[in-house]
C-alpha cells in the first residue's frame, strides 16, 4: 500500500512525535529513517509522557511494529536503556521493535570527537546535541563505520575497530592530547549489548517493502528537520543526515513510488535549539512569553530553545523541497498568550526585498524579516476539536498559513495531549 512521511519543516521539535502518534492510530508500521538520539520526540497520553529518542513514536500505539532503519545511527547503550525504560512502563517493546543490521553504531570515540570539535570551534560552534551524530555519519561515509551487524562476529568486529581507530587514536593523541581507545575494551563494550540487541536485528527495508506489498500502511517518522538537513539546511549549522524526503527513501529502504503522502510539520511560530541563523528570532518579552508558555526547552538536552515568529519563506521553501501533500500546525494554543501575532512573509537583505528563500548562508545571517501583523485571539483554545471551534482570528491564522503553503492542513494541535488536536485526515 502506501507510505506517509512525517517530517519537520523548520529546525526540529515541531511536534513530529505527536503528529506521528495521531497518524499511527491505523498503521501497521512506524519507522525512523534518519538521525539518532539527537532526536527527542514527545507523545503525551493523558498523564503519561513518553520522550522517545531512538524508538519510533509508534511504540506507544498497541500492536504497531516499529523499525529503526538503516539510515539511523544507533548508540547501543541508549537503545538498550530506552527499550528497558519503556518496558518498565508496561509497553511490549522487544516484540514489536526491529533494528536494521545496516544501521551504524555510535561509539564512545564519536561522542568524544563531537565534544572536542565543538570546544575547538569556540564561537563558531554548531551547538550540537553532543551525541556523536556527526562523527558517526562521517565514518559511515568514509567506510570505516561499525554497523549493528558487526557485533555478531567478534573477529570481524575487532578488525573493523582496529581500522577505525588507526586515524582516530592519532587525532585524540596529537590534536586533543587525550588517551587513545583500545580495540579490546571497545569490543567488550559492544559485545555486552549483543544478547539484548540480537533478537531485534532485522533487514527492516525488506520488512517494510513486504508490508507495503501486503497492503499495510507505513509511517516514516523524520528526526530533525528540513533546515537542519546536511544538504539543504543552514549549513554548516545543520545535522549530518538528510531528514528531508529523499532521506526517508534511502534511510528506510523503501522505493519512492510507495510514498504517497508527505506531512510537513510546523509550529505556529518558530524555534531553534543550537546555533546558526534564525531571522525571526525574538529577544524581547514576547519571546520569553512564548518560551515559557510553550515550555520551549529541549527534549534531548534541556537547553532553552530560541523562539521567533513563524518564518513563512522558510516553511514554504521546505514545503516545496519535500513536496509535502499536507501541513500540520502545532502548538497553536501557545499563541493564545500573545495579543498580536506576527508572521514573516518575506525578507529584506541589505535593504532590498528578496523573493523566496536565499541560497547563500551569509544572506540568511543578514535577512531582516518583513512581517504581516494579525490579531491574536487571547482565549483558551485547548478544548477545540474542530476548526469551527476555534475563534475567528485563529481560524484566519490557520487559513492564511494553509493558503501560503498551498497544501491542506491535516492537523492543528492545541495542546500537548493526544486528544488536544483538530485532525482532518483528508485521506491519509
The mark string for 204-233 relative to ligand IMO (x by CB under 6 A, - otherwise) is -------------------xxx--x-----
Using the rule CB under 5 A, give the single segment among 34-42, 71-79, 213-221, 253-261 that binds Mg ion: 34-42
**Nearer residue to ligand IMO within complex by CB, 294 or 341:** 294
CB of 27 to ligand GDP, least distance (A): 17
Number of residues that bind ligand IMO (CB under 6 A): 24
Query: Is position 42 an interface residue for ligand IMO (rule: CB under 6 A)?
Result: no
Using the rule CB under 5 A, give the single segment among 13-21, 27-35, 366-374, 420-428 that binds Mg ion: 13-21
**Nearer residue to ligand GDP within complex by CB, 205 or 294:** 294
Which does residue 131 bind out of ligand GDP, ligand IMO, Mg ion, none, counting CB within 5 to 8 angstroms by kind? ligand IMO
Which does residue 330 bind out of ligand GDP, ligand IMO, Mg ion, none, counting CB within 5 to 8 angstroms by kind? ligand GDP
Which 99-128 residues touch ligand IMO, going by CB under 6 A?
A: 126-128
Which does residue 271 bind out of ligand GDP, Mg ion, ligand IMO, none, counting CB within 5 to 8 angstroms by kind? none
**Nearer residue to ligand GDP within complex by CB, 8 or 358:** 8
Out of 41, 104, 258, 326, pick the active-site residue. 41
Which 286-345 residues touch Mg ion, going by CB under 5 A?
A: 299
41 given a catalytic annotation: yes
CB of 24 to ligand GDP, least distance (A): 13
Q: Which of 58, 134, 145, 415 binds ligand IMO (CB under 6 A)?
A: 134
Q: What is the 3-state secondary structure (H, E, C) of the chain?
A: CCEEEEEECCCCCCCHHHHHHHHHHHCCEEEECCECCCCCEEEEECCEEEEECCCCHHHHCCCCEEEECCCEEECHHHHHHHHHHHHHCCCCCCCCEEEECCCEECCHHHHHHHHHHHHHHHHHCCCCCCCCHHHHHHHHHHCCCCEHHHHHCHHHHHHHHHHHHHHHHHHHHHCCCCCCCCHHHHHHHHHCCHHHHHHHEECHHHHHHHHHHCCCCEEEECCCCHHHCCCCCCCCCCCCCCCCHHHHHHHHCCCHHHEEEEEEEEECCEEECCCCCCCCECCCHHHHHHHHHCCCECCCCCCECEEECEEHHHHHHHHHHHCCCEEEEECHHHHHHCCEEEEEEEEEECCEEECCCCCCHHHHHHCEEEEEEEECCCCCCCCCCCHHHCCHHHHHHHHHHHHHHCCCEEEEECCCECCCEEECCCCC
Query: Is position 115 an interface residue for Mg ion (rule: CB under 5 A)?
Result: no
**Nearer residue to ligand IMO within complex by CB, 247 or 274:** 274
Residues that bind ligand GDP (CB under 6 A): 8, 12-18, 39-42, 44, 294-295, 299, 330-331, 333-334, 413-416
Residues recognised as catalytic: 13, 41
Q: Residues interacting with Mg ion, by CB under 5 A? A: 13, 40, 299
Amino acid at each position: 500500500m502506501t507510505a506517509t512521511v512525517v517530517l519537520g519543516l523548520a529546525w526540529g521539535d515541531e511536534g513530529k512525535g505527536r503528529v506521528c502518534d495521531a497518524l499511527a492510530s491505523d498503521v501497521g508500521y512506524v519507522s525512523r529513517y534518519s538521525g539518532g538520539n539527537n532526536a527527542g520526540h514527545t507523545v503525551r497520553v493523558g498523564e503519561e509522557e513518553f520522550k522517545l529518542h531512538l524508538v519510533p513514536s509508534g511504540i506507544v500505539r498497541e500492536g504497531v511494529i516499529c523499525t529503526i532503519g538503516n539510515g539511523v545511527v544507533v548508540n547501543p547503550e541508549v537503545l538498550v536503556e530506552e527499550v528497558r525504560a519503556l518496558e518498565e512502563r508496561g509497553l511490549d517493546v522487544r516484540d514489536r521493535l526491529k533494528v536494521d543490521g545496516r544501521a551504524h553504531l555510535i561509539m564512545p570515540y564519536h561522542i568524544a570527537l563531537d565534544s572536542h570539535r565543538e570546544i575547538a570551534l569556540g564561537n563558531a560552534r554548531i551547538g550540537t546535541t553532543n551525541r556523536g551524530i556527526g562523527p558517526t555519519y562521517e565514518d559511515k561515509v568514509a567506510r570505516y563505520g561499525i554497523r549493528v551487524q558487526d557485533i555478531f562476529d567478534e573477529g570481524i568486529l575487532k578488525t573493523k575497530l582496529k581500522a577505525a581507530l588507526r586515524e582516530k587514536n592519532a587525532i585524540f593523541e596529537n590534536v586533543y592530547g587525550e588517551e587513545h581507545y583500545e580495540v579490546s575494551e571497545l569490543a567488550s563494550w559492544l559485545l555486552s549489548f549483543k544478547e539484548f540487541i540480537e533478537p531485534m536485528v532485522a533487514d527492516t527495508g525488506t520488512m517494510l517493502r513486504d508490508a507495503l506489498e501486503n497492503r499495510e500502511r507505513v509511517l516514516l517518522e523524520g528526526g530533525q528537520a528540513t533546515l537542519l538537513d546536511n544538504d539543504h539546511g543552514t549549513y554548516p549549522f545543520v545535522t549530518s543526515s538528510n531528514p528531508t524526503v529523499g532521506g526517508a527513501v534511502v534511510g528506510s529502504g523503501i522505493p519512492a513510488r510507495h510514498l504517497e503522502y508527505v506531512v510537513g510539520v510546523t509550529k505556529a511560530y518558530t524555534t531553534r535549539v543550537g546555533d546558526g541563523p534564525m531571522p525571526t528570532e525574538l529577544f524581547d518579552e514576547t519571546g520569553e512569553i512564548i518560551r515559557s508558555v510553550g515550555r520551549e526547552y529541549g527534549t534531548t538536552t534541556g537547553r532553552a530553545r530560541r523562539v521567533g515568529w513563524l518564518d513563512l519563506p522558510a516553511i514554504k521553501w521546505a514545503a516545496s523541497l519535500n513536496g509535502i501533500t499536507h501541513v500540520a500546525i502545532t502548538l497553536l494554543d501557545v499563541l493564545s498568550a500573545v495579543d498580536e501575532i506576527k508572521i514573516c512573509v518575506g525578507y529584506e537583505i541589505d535593504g532590498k526585498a528578496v523573493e523566496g528563500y536565499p541560497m547563500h548562508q551569509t544572506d540568511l545571517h543578514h535577512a531582516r524579516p518583513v512581517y504581516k501583523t494579525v490579531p491574536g485571539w487571547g482565549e483558551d483554545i485547548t478544548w477545540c476539536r474542530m476548526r469551527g471551534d476555534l475563534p475567528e482570528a485563529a481560524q484566519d491564522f490557520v487559513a492564511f498559513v494553509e493558503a501560503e503553503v498551498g497544501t491542506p492542513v491535516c492537523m492543528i494541535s492545541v495542546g500537548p495531549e493526544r486528544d488536544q488536536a483538530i485532525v482532518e485526515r483528508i485521506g491519509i
